[in-house]
Amino acid sequence: MIIKVCGITNQRDASAAIDAGATAIGFNFYGKSPRCVHADIATAISTPGALRVGVFVNEVPERIEEIARLASLDVAQLHGDEAACDYPRELTVWKAARVSAGFDISRYATTPAQAILLDGPAAELYGGAGVTFDWMLARNSRLRIIVAGGLDASNVAQAIALAAPWGIDSCSRIEASPGIKDHIKMTDFLHAAKAALRS
């Protein structure tokens, strides 16, 4: 299972996340996000043994591929209005979808993305809003589902039990401030996730 910590902006947080069990580290390249990092900063952050995931919003494929090369990304996580024809060709894609009233997961049945990341409603924001959704929407899907939005140590076990996802992702609920992780909250989240997977 993918256990991802997103919104990483510095080496200290990345190292602490990996030490506590994160298998994927997310870097946000969306300019309007308070967690945005430049490619050169992400490049300098070491993440041994973990997938390197870049978060993008309505970015052109050529720019995504350029940043991916610079920052040694493994995955592009696309949070905008991208259609399949907008996906970068040389990179694995996780397509993010906001779950709000009337959400229908079947619209992604033929997606070429490796996984669908389901996030809570966030108004005009793109990721990092810390809002949960009905995790049962993800259960029994034939798609690889990553559950995000409002996860922390208090609810990740329930999310895993209800959604049976391919991956989980946390960001804002384990922060001290936007872009800076609270290491106690982050470690508690990761340990709770690993414990839920063992049970």
Q: Is 152 an annotated catalytic residue? A: no
Question: What's the rounded Cα separation, in Å, for the pair 2 and 199?
Answer: 16
The whole-angstrom separation of Cα 33 and Cα 35 is 5
Is there a catalytic annotation at residue 119? yes
User: Encoding tokens for residue 133?
Assistant: 């959704």
Strand 180-181 versus strand 175-177 pairing type: antiparallel
Catalytic residue (choose from 13, 119, 169, 171): 119
Determine which one of 6, 13, 169, 171 is catalytic.
Answer: 6
Three-state DSSP class for 27?
strand
Measured distance CA(89)–CA(93) in Å, rounded: 9
Half-sphere exposure of 41 (CA within 13 A, CB side): 17
Catalytic residue set: 6, 119
